[in-house]
Chain A
Amino acid sequence: MINKDSRVVLEVKNLKAEVAGVEILKGVNLTVRAGEVHAIMGVNGSGKSTFSKVLAGHPDYTVTGGSAMFEGKGLFTLEPEARARAGLFLAFQYPVEIPGVSNSALLRLAYNTLQTERGLEELDPLEFDDLVQEKIKVVEMDPSFLSRSVNEGFSGGEKKRNEILQMAILEPKLAILDETDSGLDIDALRIVANGVNSLLSPDNAVVMVTHYQRLLNYIVPDYVHVMSAGRIVRTGGKELALELEARGYDWLKEAA
């Protein structure tokens, strides 16, 4: 939902970043306001996943230029955990399995860390269970997944649903969904998308990074950006995604 007067959640200016000495982002500009849904599309290797990881603070990536302001704070001076506490959330393309850490324990630990940050009371296991039982409905997940180790033995779809459950618990100001649609069958895609939609509000924003238009049928973007060779080369409305679906990405490469 576009509201030109709403606050700026994220403002990225001329962002450059490299991994292992190779420059991947070559000057990215992006402004995200509260209430907006953005899609960043592009071929593999265009830099769109790198962009999401750089914003979340992945240690393999080095910012070499530009700036990113998140909720009025310089993002790149913050450790990944501080970014999370400030309200940034990354849904991982490949969620990691953590044998030995139960899903519910992780969720509670993460939630209580945020509560403390916000100056609120921590929830004890019973209180938290009430909360999580409510939130789990958002992703139509079986409660038995709560007592299992984080993502261990989960199917691709279950892992992605688990990411959205974490998002539901942490209530971020900005959620970056990195290829959340990859590896999902149509039912799982619908569930994940419904989950994200139910979490959208005029106060938060979503940036979806995706290769395919498919996801955008379910989570309708206000803006579609096309990334190519480390830059955003075109920005449009949701109809741009349909054009990409019909024409592919090559015509934009030439234009860039």
Chain B
Amino acid sequence: MQTPATITREQCYEQLLLGKTVKSTGWLDTIRVEALARAQALNFPTERHDDWRLTDLSPLFQHAFHPVDSYASVTLEDIDKLLMPDSIRLVFVDGCYTAPLSDLKSAGSGVTVSSLVERVGDTQVEANFAHHAPFEQDAFAALNTRFFEDGAYVHVAGEINTPIHILNIATKREVPSAIYPRCLIVMEANSRATVIEDYAGLGDSPNLSNAVTEVVLKDHAQLYHVRIQREEKSAFNIGHCSVDAAKGSVYTSTALAFGARLSRHELHVTLQGEGAEATLNGLALIGGRQIADTHTQIDHAMPRCKSHQLHKCIADGSAHAIFGGKIMVREGASGTDSEQSSRNLLLSGKAHIDTQPQLEIFNDDVSCKHGATIGQIDADALFFLKSRGLTEERARSLLTHAFAAEIIDKIPVTALVEALGRTILDERMKASV
């Protein structure tokens, strides 16, 4: 059941503040109390917030999002298509950790993959939780911190080759629901891992997933971080991820946005140790009336850090894709090497893409390149494919897939690359019929 009429922005926010109180004790309770105070003081961002200026949140205000008070029973069969072979798996259904769907058996020594709530007593959890993703000025982060029910906790000391899959599933619910996925990843010195954060739906329903992820890389740690947003078409997904990278650490991210009526992904990376490196690959592939917003920030706080970013948007139908990419080079961050590229593909005359690369440099000794392009399907390539017998639709979907593949192919998990490639090609075929 959907709320029949549009409610006001204020009503929508107030409804979120009526979230379910999740019991916790000690330090976490203190943080939750603070977070509620901040959430009450804040509100949805408006066009006056520079980072949100281009993002039309009004589809959100069609719904009153209720707390999750009951849980659907989900079987492994239900989520079969979302599973990855040979992975360590944590599954959350509507924000609640679901042990029977999870598979933790192959996490070896030095690796902890578990429910966050179960590990609330760990010193690393206490030392890091809510320390990296600030909620003081961010209403969504404050709401998450107040109302999250459980989350994923990944702690890696050592090297692990098996990918860790964190699957967040939003089910089809009676009323639009607010779900608060949470994730904390702590990479100890010299550790190495691959983590896949995955947001998907089971049945279309206008739920709001408001997620917060915190990533800590200690000296020389290496993390490959994949984020897949493949929610159902009327869902909402707002996610914030903060990454703090210490000396010599390497953070590599591939963030994909395919689903949701409206999605926003914020990724803030702070290169806070000398020689830290970040590579951010991003792709939004949307159509219909979808809105997908990606805002990234890479902060070169120390000398000789490197960052490399390639973000692509593909918009069909009357979709709207937004990319805001800020790169900051602090005073004293000499020897900074940064490259940013935003490449965009418009598939329809009604689609809309905004891209805003932004450089803020407070230092002379740096190499920073950035650029943005927006184009349509290459006419020569299209003619070539048609001259080989492919229909216009097939040729266009193949070229669209190829444009997307450059990002997807970077994911170091072959099974996932293949599965995503198939899904996209199928979707494009369907979209073009």
Contact = CB atoms under 8 A, between A and B. Distances in A.
Do A and B make up one complex? yes
Interface of A: 56-59, 79-81, 83-85, 89-90, 92, 95-96, 98-101, 106, 109-110, 113-114, 117, 149, 166, 170
A81 B389 contact: yes
A81 B384 contact: no
B380 interface: yes
Contact of B390 (A81, A83, A100): A81
A83 B409 CA distance: 34
Contact of B386 (A84, A99, A109, A170): A84
B380 A96 contact: yes
Given A59-B379, A96-B381, A100-B405, A81 B386 contact: yes
A109 B394 contact: yes
Interface residues of B, number: 25
Contacts of A166: 388
A101 B392 contact: no
Interface of B: 378-381, 383-392, 394-395, 398-399, 401-406, 409
27 contacts: A56-B387, A79-B386, A80-B383, A81-B387, A81-B390, A81-B395, A83-B387, A84-B387, A84-B388, A85-B389, A89-B387, A95-B384, A96-B380, A96-B384, A98-B381, A98-B399, A98-B402, A99-B402, A100-B401, A100-B404, A100-B406, A109-B390, A109-B394, A109-B398, A113-B389, A170-B388, A170-B389
Contacts of B389: 81, 84-85, 110, 113-114, 117, 170
A13 to B, nearest CB: 23
B384 A92 contact: yes
Given A90-B387, A100-B401, A109-B398, A81 B392 contact: yes
A149 B389 CA distance: 19
Contacts of A110: 388-390
Given A106-B388, A117-B389, 16 more contacts: A57-B386, A59-B379, A79-B392, A80-B386, A96-B380, A96-B384, A98-B385, A100-B409, A101-B398, A109-B390, A109-B398, A110-B389, A113-B394, A114-B389, A149-B402, A170-B389
A57 to B, nearest CB: 7
A79 B388 CA distance: 12
Nearest to B378: A96
Nearest to B382: A59
Contacts of B390: 81, 109-110, 113
A115 B409 CA distance: 30
A59 B384 CA distance: 11
Contacts of A83: 387
A246 to B, nearest CB: 36
Between B379, B380, B384, the greatest number of chain A beta carbons within 10 A of the residue's beta carbon is seen for B384
Contacts of B384: 92, 95-96, 98
A90 B385 CA distance: 11
A88 B406 CA distance: 32
Contacts of B387: 56-57, 80-81, 83-84, 89-90, 92
Contacts of A58: 383
B130 to A, nearest CB: 40
A99 B406 contact: yes
A128 to B, nearest CB: 15
Contacts of A79: 386, 392
The 9 closest A-B pairs by CB, nearest first: A100-B402, A100-B405, A84-B389, A80-B386, A110-B388, A81-B386, A113-B389, A101-B402, A96-B384
Nearest to A166: B388
A148 B395 CA distance: 18
Nearest to B380: A96
Between B379, B389, B402, B404, the greatest number of chain A beta carbons within 10 A of the residue's beta carbon is seen for B389
Nearest to A117: B389
A100 B403 contact: yes
Nearest to A107: B388
A153 to B, nearest CB: 14
Nearest to A112: B389
A247 B384 CA distance: 36
Contacts of A101: 398-399, 401-402
A149 to B, nearest CB: 8
A88 to B, nearest CB: 8
Contacts of A95: 384
Nearest to A151: B384
